[in-house]
Amino acid sequence: MKFIIDRFDGKKNYQQTYTVEKKDIEALTLLGTLLFIKQHQDITLNFTASCRMAICGACGVRVNGHAYLACDTKMTELFEEYKDADTFRISPLSNYTVISDLAVDWEPSIENLRKVKPGLVAKSEFSEKEGCRQNQEEYDRIVGQWDCILCGVCASECNKLSADRSDYMEPFVYTRAWKVANDSRTKDPMIHVKPTVTNGLWNCVHCHECTNRCPKHISAAEDIAGLRAMAMRKGLNSGVGPAHAKSFYTDLVEDSGRLNEIRLALRTEGMSTALRAAANKE
Amino acid sequence: MSEQFTRREFLQSACITMGALAVSTTGADKAFAATSTSTPNTSGMPSCDVLIIGSGAAGLRAAVAARKKNPNLSVVVVSKVMPTRSATTMAEGGINGVIDFSEGDSFELHAKDTVKGGDFLVDQDTALKFATYAGAAIHELDYLGMPFSRNAKGEVNKRYAGGASKIRCNFASDKTGHILTHTCLDDALKHGVKFLMDHHMLDLSIENGRCEGVVLRNIRTGDIAPVRAKSVVLATGGYTRVFWNRTSTPFIATGDGAAAVLRAGLVFKDPEMLQFHPTGVCHGGTLITEAARGEGGILLNNQGERFMKRYVPNKMELAPRDIVARSIETEIREGRAFGHDMEAYVLLDVTHLGKEKIMRDLPQIRHIGMLFENMDLVEKPIAIRPTAHYSMGGIHVTSIDTMATPAPGLYAAGEAACVSIHGANRLGGNSLCDATVTGKIAGTNAAEYAAKADFGAGKRLNDLTLKWTSHFKEITGSGKGNVNDMYALREELGAANWYNMGIFRTESKLLELADKHAEFQARYNAIRIPNANPVFNTAYTEYVELGNLLLASRAALMGATARKESRGSHYREDYLKRDDANFLDWKDVVVGQFKIEERKY
Ligand SMILES: Cc1cc2nc3c(=O)[nH]c(=O)nc-3n(C[C@H](O)[C@H](O)[C@H](O)COP(=O)(O)OP(=O)(O)OC[C@H]3O[C@@H](n4cnc5c(N)ncnc54)[C@H](O)[C@@H]3O)c2cc1C
Ligand code: SF4
Ligand code: SF4
Ligand code: FES
């Protein structure tokens, strides 16, 4: 069978086809297959991997256009999904700058994480000496988001990022912000919410592609909705938000943060700009 | 305070690149110079105050501690991968530290268990300090936002870990290490720590006894450049990949720090002390956690016999890790296992627990079975074999009070370091708190040192850089070499180490291994990589790592040969007893001069 791999050597893009015997790889994972090709056919093929057990997030790649965690994907699953196709196209994650072959640049993502100030600032009743208290329900509220392994699969699938990367961040960055804003131990959620507002929060088009493929079953789309609801609520209560934001508030479905889809197109841009202006003023 | 600082830092372009560093009179370097408290760097080389190599828990905690100690210092964390792709991320079970004294637990008991677990090769004062700091570290992590699992009172929850006399292994579900890593990353971002990711430390420069910086290769561009630093913290993790495919640890655990230290003529302590976990999957060694046996899994040989009844009838599969590991290897050696050579295995059977229980309590283990053995352990037993799990040995550090090496300006922390906490065997749950605790101490002391120190002269650093630049050309530029040469050698090294220096060790096998190492080294030196492209040349990275593994293997072999006793995970069939008279206060390996040295405290 054939693997067509999208390659980049630092200067030029090209495709390269590798032929392997099905029996050599059918019991392997996708990462196993990549390692097999590198170690037996082409030592110049570059990709990244570290843990090989689906926890370090290093091995996100695309197969036939869709993002997968390579070490967490069995070849048999791919055979099934693509109806015994005998050719697969492997590409680097989309919406990232490619450094070489399947390796992409994570530096901008780390900087986006920095923007949302992901470090918890604990309520004053807690201390470094004695730690915090959190009940089960409060814990359950955030534990899902903590599963994020920064693999970039959601970012690769994100329609908004594909359309325009300049005013949006990777979906997992919003998940990161929501995880800390929604934590019962957090002193002031707005520390984390505000930077999302000024960095594209209202630009998500709610296509849920991020959710569909996350290997850890996280829904960045839902987390974005949560952030929006919180931004609206806090903004309105404390007077931070612009006065006319109130009219948009009625579009929100019971605090879910999801805008009425019909009015969405009309109003998101206005909303986004207004909120951005408000946040900049501070 | 730190909030404001973060913002300014961010504006100064918080994530620097090698390119920015290299333009030393502008950009990032100027930003460093402006925040630096002492003599600025005038050599034209890129520089920073505190340079931390490694972004596991140890590196990230060191970075924050350095920033906290002195916010005026520039602190940069270097990692050969994206910051969260470390061994720390892979830890599952939990992190030790006494925070609940109501059931009679105490720091003293934690220390005592640690000393006993380490088979008395542990420095006892160090163990007590460690246990004390470990307790404080749990509260601190909680305060930083680490979502520990909770008990009914909303406090951090804990579970039992092997070798502990009380329950003190605090956990966050079955991904404590992952959660810890991301907590540490968030905190590092909060404190304005900068990252140089995809940068590989090739060497460390010690001049006139003092550390003056490191040689880094920007993996993305291939640029090899010196970076001067007033102090350096090595938090590069372990060297368990000496067993290549028989380890639970990530591909990156190649002992780069220990090897660099050896090349610089410093001390690599207790290199023979490598821990084995009884249950790794047959293909590749990924961990099947203790939970599988804890929940009632049984071990079977090729006769279908539950063989543990011949070794430890009263405890069976729940006997201590090292005993179970030795029992399995004995079955393999005596022909009662399946498969052969490196793919030999026995079976771990959980099918009798039933689908429902497996799905509920062991989903992760089932998933691993699917991925690596292509089978469902609801239906069939899984093929397992012991796997190398942790390096107790590491870069010699003089005291837990500073985590300083004997070379001024050089510090080490986490699994890369050896401050004699774990001795001859590490307790489950003790390494995450080791990384957290020693990282912080190293960072604080490195910052203190950097605030007072000047930059070194940088001459040797320059020479080393030139050496590595020509090394890259020599290894990759010839157009020669076969695609599989290096990978085949790596497998052979792993297998040879496993057979001759693995769970069972004897003089004759170790001597045999010495000859093999010599042969491997010669082959290694002759290998050429058929890829001359400097951009993200992962094959060259692997080549350098393999060289480090060879060096670490040879150091471990020296230790294993000289240590004529059995202690902890070091099991000599020709010297079955522990020999305190000769080996308690013993010996470090200095491979720089290829001799064993007396240990001094
Ligand atoms: C599967 C598994 C389960 C475990 N479970 C537990 C557990 O339950 N409890 C427990 O306490 N411990 C556990 N451990 C052990 C524990 O995870 C590690 O010992 C500990 O996290 C080591 O942390 P560290 O920061 O010292 O090093 P690491 O996390 O290994 O980090 C090393 C860092 O150094 C960088 N690096 C290395 N060389 C270079 C170089 N040349 N240039 C640049 N950067 C470099 C790497 O990129 C990496 O960022 C487990 C380990 C594994 C593998
Ligand atoms: S949210 Fe999911 S897909 Fe996105 S980075 Fe995190 S784990 Fe990966
Ligand atoms: S729902 Fe939003 S974040 Fe998710 S993929 Fe669509 S646009 Fe991107
Ligand atoms: S290699 Fe770590 S997630 Fe795949």
| Residue A129 near residue B146 (C-beta atoms within 8 A) | no
State yes or no: pLDDT of A179 exceeds 50.
yes
The length of chain B, given as a count of residues: 601
What's CA B92's distance to the chain center, in Å? Answer: 15
pLDDT of residue B374: 87
Q: Give the global pTM.
A: 0.91
B594 in A contact zone (CB under 8 Å)? no
Query: A200: pLDDT confidence band, cut at 50, 70 and 90?
Result: very high
Ligand 1: list residues with CB < 6 Å.
B 53-59, 78-81, 86-88, 90-95, 176-177, 200-201, 235-237, 248-249, 252-253, 256, 287, 390, 414-416, 428-432, 435
Is there a contact between A143 and B150 if contact means CB atoms under 8 Å apart? Answer: no
Q: Are B358 and B378 in contact, with CB atoms under 8 Å apart?
A: yes
Q: Do B533 and A10 touch (CB under 8 A)?
A: yes
CA dihedral B6, B7, B8, B14 (to 10 degrees): 70
Q: Which backbone phi and psi does B228 adopt, to 5 degrees? A: -90, 145
Distance of CA B128 to the CA centre of its chain: 22
Q: What is the pLDDT of residue B565?
A: 94
User: Searching chain A, which residue's CA lies closest to the CA of residue B7?
Assistant: A115
A221 falls in which pLDDT band (50, 70, 90)? Answer: very high
The answer to whether B413 touches B444, Cβ cutoff 8 Å, is: no
Q: In CATH, what class is A2-103? A: alpha beta
Are B543 and B551 in contact, with CB atoms under 8 Å apart? no
Closest alpha carbon to B564 in B485, B481, B507, B482: B507
Comparing CA positions, the residue from B164, B158, B111 lying closest to residue B422 is: B111
Q: 10 Å Cβ neighbour count for B8?
A: 12
| Residue B155 touches chain A, beta carbons under 8 Å | yes
Tell me if A255 sits within 8 A of A233, measured CB to CB: yes
Does B484 contact A40 at a Cβ distance shorter than 8 Å? Answer: yes
In this structure, are residues B189 and B204 in contact, taking their beta carbons and an 8 Å threshold? no
Does the pLDDT at position A262 exceed 50? no
Q: Of the CATH numbers 3.50.50.60, 1.10.150.130, 3.30.160.150, 3.40.190.10, which one belongs to the domain with range B15-273+392-458?
A: 3.50.50.60
Alpha-carbon distance of B175 to B93, in angstroms, equals 7
Structure tokens at B507: 């003089």
Contact A139 B6 (CB under 8 A): no
Amino acid B361: pLDDT: 83
Fold designation for B277-387 = Flavocytochrome C3; Chain A, domain 1 (3.90.700)
Tell me how close the Cα of A49 comes to any Cα of chain B, in angstroms: 8
Q: Alpha helices of chain A — where are they, by DSSP H?
A: 22-25, 30-40, 75-81, 107-115, 136-143, 153-157, 159-163, 171-181, 190-197, 209-213, 220-238, 245-249, 261-281
Count of Cβ atoms closer than 10 Å to residue B207 Cβ: 18
Annotated domain spans of chain A: 2-103, 106-233, 240-281
**Adjacency order of strands within the sheet including B417-418:** B417-418, B394-396, B268-269, B588-590, B595-597
A89 phi and psi, to 5 degrees? Answer: -105, 125
Going from N- to C-terminal start, the domains of chain B cover 15-273+392-458, 277-387, 460-562
**Sign for the pseudo-dihedral over CA of B30, B32, B38, B42:** negative
Instruction: Evaluate whether A148 touches A175 at the Cβ level (below 8 Å).
Output: yes
- Per-residue model confidence as pLDDT tens digits over A234-253: 864 443 333 334 444 444 44
pLDDT of amino acid A268: 42
Least Cα distance to A195 among A95, A121, A106, A113 occurs for A113
CB-based burial, B406-425: b 16+ in 10 Å, e otherwise: ebebbbbbbbbbbbbbbbbb
Amino acid B505 reads R
Give burial (CB, 10 Å; 0-12/13-18/19+) of B379.
Answer: exposed
Min Cα separation B85/chain A (Å): 5
Give the pLDDT score at B526: 97
User: d(Cα B313, Cα B203) in Å, to the nearest integer?
Assistant: 50
Choosing from B61, B321, B385, B426, the catalytic residue is B321
What DSSP state is assigned to residue B157?
P
Chain CA centroid to CA A35, Å: 26
Residues of chain B below pLDDT 50:
1-40, 601
What is the rounded distance in angstroms from the CA atom of residue B59 to the CA atom of residue B78?
9
For A51-110, what is each residue's pLDDT tens digit?
Answer: 999 999 999 999 999 999 999 999 999 999 999 799 999 999 999 999 999 999 999 999
Inform me whether the C-beta atom of residue A132 falls under 8 Å from chain B C-beta atoms.
Answer: yes
The predicted structure's pLDDT at residue B35: 41
Q: Which atom of ligand 4 lies at the shortest distance from residue A57's CA?
A: 3
| Euclidean distance between CA atoms A122 and A132, whole angstroms | 8
**Which residue shows structure tokens 């989903």?**
B363
Contact across the interface for A128 and B198, Cβ inside 8 Å: no
Chain B residues with CB under 8 Å of A31 CB are none
Tokens at residue B581, please?
A: 């008279």
Residue A3 Cα to ligand 1 midpoint, Å, equals: 33
Residue B153 touches partner A, C-beta closer than 8 Å: yes
Q: Locate the chain B residue with the closest alpha carbon to A32.
A: B372
Interface test with B, best of A38, A96, A110, A184 (most B CBs within 10 A): A110
Site from A132, A173, A280, A282 to mutate, B interface, most B CB atoms within 10 angstroms: A132
pLDDT band at A269 (very low <50, low <70, confident <90, very high): very low
For residue A24, pLDDT over 90 is answered with yes
Q: CA A142 to CA A134: how far, in whole Å?
A: 11
Name the closest-CA residue to atom 4, ligand 3.
Answer: A210
Pick the CATH number of A106-233 from 1.10.8.640, 1.10.1060.10, 1.25.40.10, 3.30.70.1230: 1.10.1060.10
The interaxial angle of helices B107-117 and B124-144, nearest 10 deg, is 120
Contact list, B186 vs chain A (CB under 8 Å): 113, 118-120, 176, 180
Task: Read off φ and ψ for residue B24, nearest 5 degrees.
Answer: -75, -20
Which of B16, B76, B142 should be substituted to probe chain A, the one whose Cβ sees the most A Cβ atoms within 10 Å? B142
CA distance B325 to B288: 13
Q: How far is CA B357 from the centre of its chain?
A: 34
Task: Return d(Cα A38, Cα B174) in angstroms, integer.
Answer: 33
Q: Which ligand is nearest to the CA of A147?
A: 2
Cα–Cα dist B291/B367, whole Å: 14
Domain B460-562 indexed as CATH 1.20.58.100: yes
For ligand 2, atom 2, the nearest C-alpha belongs to A214
A100-159 pLDDT per residue, tens: 999 999 999 999 999 999 999 999 999 999 999 999 899 999 999 999 999 999 999 999
Say which residue the tokens 């570059």 belong to.
A46
Atom of ligand 1 nearest to the CA of B432: 11
Cα of A139 vs its chain's centroid, Å = 22
DSSP letters spanning B58-118: HHHHHHHHHHHH-TTS-EEEEESS-TT-SSGGG--S-EE-----TTS--HHHHHHHHHHHT
In eight-state DSSP terms, residue A19 is E
Is the CB of A106 inside 8 Å of chain B's CB atoms?
Answer: yes
What does the pLDDT read at residue B584?
Answer: 80
Per-residue model confidence (pLDDT) at position B594:
57
Atom 26 of ligand 1, residue of closest alpha carbon: B414
| SS3 category, B555 | helix
Asked if A259 and A248 count as a contact pair (C-beta separation under 8 A), the reply is yes
d(CA A88, CA A84): 10
Q: What are phi and psi of A100, to 5 degrees?
A: -160, 135
- The reply to whether B460 belongs to the active site is no
Tokens of B587: 């010996």
